[in-house]
Amino acid sequence: DTGRTLYLLDEPTTGLHFEDLSKLLDVLNRLVDLGNTVVVIEHNLDVIKSADWIVDLGPEAGLEGGHLVFAGTPEDLVAVKANVGKGKGKKSSGKTVVSEDNGYISHTAVALAPVLVAGPFGERKKYDPKEQDIPREGDVSINEVGAATRMPWELDGPRWHTKDRVGRTGHPCRWDGRILADVVAKIQEYDCFAATDWNNRSVVEIRGEKKSLGWFFHAITGEEWLLKMKFRTAKNTFRRDLLVERLDLKPLNEMPDIPLYGTEPRVRVQSGTGPWQEIELKVHSYAEIDRREFQDFLELAITGFEKFSDGKKSNPAELMPWKILKEKWHFLPKGLLGGSRAKWDYSLLKDVFALLDGIAPEARVVWTNKMLVPYYLGAEVKTGGRVLPWVIVHTKRAEAVQLDLYVSKNAVPLGRVLSQGIEPAVDGGNPDYDVVQLRFAGKSDLKKNELKLLLDETKKSKLKG
């Protein structure tokens, strides 16, 4: 609060219980004590008698109103207007009073006079906001409020996700909680899985016992009408068309009991990263999984995942596409940084490799990396604790094919390579060697003769070194 605010309230007592009036007046007085101005349009006499200043408009409603009858304190209003029978003002029946100064009747004064007489009177304590800043025993920082309170899914995860769960929209979930309970129980019968992780508001996860295997099962429990289950198993375990037919999950348009629509199958099968296949099912009723066909699917998915737990294939990284496809992988338009597409033609990459192979056919070429291909010459000498390649070709950059040429310190000045490719550079950040960086976005950037001379020189220098 700035203490410089005008608050305009229109009949704030409407609907309040009598006991709440004192709380309202306390709030209004606090705002004033802080330096604000509070203007209240009100007919309640408890509010009127507590005001610092009254502006009485009237004397009647509609066309008979709109005049300033009186302005001042409640006590002054009654004193000025309560003059009936004292020879001042006009005669009155006692139901209204007439002002000496302007002749307007004040109905407010008539109603307020007995209230002021009745009292009770008392001194109001002025609100001091500085008192609220004084530390008190038992005070709790706002940042600590609720810190020790655990969420329901942390207190009892299985109960939250299968019985008490609430969807993202705040409505109770309508899918059958027994689906999740039975699927988790079946999976946990196998030794290749870690304990179920229930400690998330809307996701239940089961991972392989070996961390390197990653997750096998994800249940997304925050949807109101459908439970989404995802399974991760060995590639080619399932065929989409056959699985859709076998599980026989009706499209949403054929489910009149739920307010969702769609004609697409509720079964999805897609290739995951590396050797994995991911299956997604959206289910609503327990009957959809209480079938032999679903049990067969679940057992087959678990069996596929188990293939990577038998010791021989305990490292899924060995089955990544670049490990299996090797040279072929680097000529595929997949796996580029950021998921983008190459802006250069793959024939350019072939020309680069052909040039390197022609100059150093004896080089050891490593094709099993995901984004780069290093060339090692026969004399592999460690520099700074690592074996340096002769050349590294970056094959998965969208903007250009990049060639990193490792050379002795200060052996190749930048001026020597300015005509090669686009934005050539020499990285001299390492104290033991330099890296000449050449980028080619089109065949016109690749000046084969000049590059061949440079590669020949660095190759001979490398072998001598």
In a shared domain, residues 360 and 291:
no
Give pLDDT < 70 ranges for the chain. 1, 81-101, 146, 309-319, 379-385, 463-465
Pairing state between β 203-207 and 401-408? unpaired
**Among the three residues 96, 118, 140, which one is the final residue of a domain in this structure?**
118
pLDDT at 91: 39
Angle 431-434-436 from CA coordinates, rounded to 5°: 160
Nearest to 380 by CA among 353, 354, 406: 406
Question: Which residue range is the domain that position 358 belongs to?
Answer: 326-464
In a shared domain, residues 165 and 212:
yes
Place of tokens 């590669």: 455
In a shared domain, residues 284 and 336:
no
Q: Is 142 domain-assigned?
A: no
Q: Which amino acid is at 44?
A: N
In a shared domain, residues 331 and 425:
yes
In a shared domain, residues 210 and 336:
no
* pTM exceeds cut of 0.75: no
Give the Cβ contact number of residue 278 at 10 Å. 16
Q: Is 412 domain-assigned?
A: yes
Tokens of 384: 């700074």
pLDDT at 97: 46
Nearest to 379 by CA among 389, 369, 371: 389
Q: Is 135 domain-assigned?
A: no
pLDDT at 103: 75
Q: Is 114 domain-assigned?
A: yes
In a shared domain, residues 309 and 331:
no
What's the rounded Cα separation, in Å, for the pair 80 and 59?
15
Place of tokens 């309040």: 16
pLDDT at 48: 94
Q: Is 126 domain-assigned?
A: no
The CATH number given to whatever domain includes residue 367 is: 3.30.1460
Q: Is 145 domain-assigned?
A: no
Nearest to 211 by CA among 336, 318, 98, 308: 308
Q: Is 267 domain-assigned?
A: yes
**Among the three residues 283, 316, 349, which one is the final residue of a domain in this structure?**
316
What's the rounded Cα separation, in Å, for the pair 405 and 355?
14
Reported as a single tens digit per residue, the pLDDT across 37-63 is 999 999 999 999 999 999 999 889 888
Reported as a single tens digit per residue, the pLDDT across 216-225 is 999 999 999 9
Percent composition of the chain: helix, strand, coil (DSSP 3-state, to 5): 35, 20, 45
Burial degree of 368 (CB within 10 A; 0-12, 13-18, 19+): middle
Nearest to 185 by CA among 206, 215, 156, 211: 206
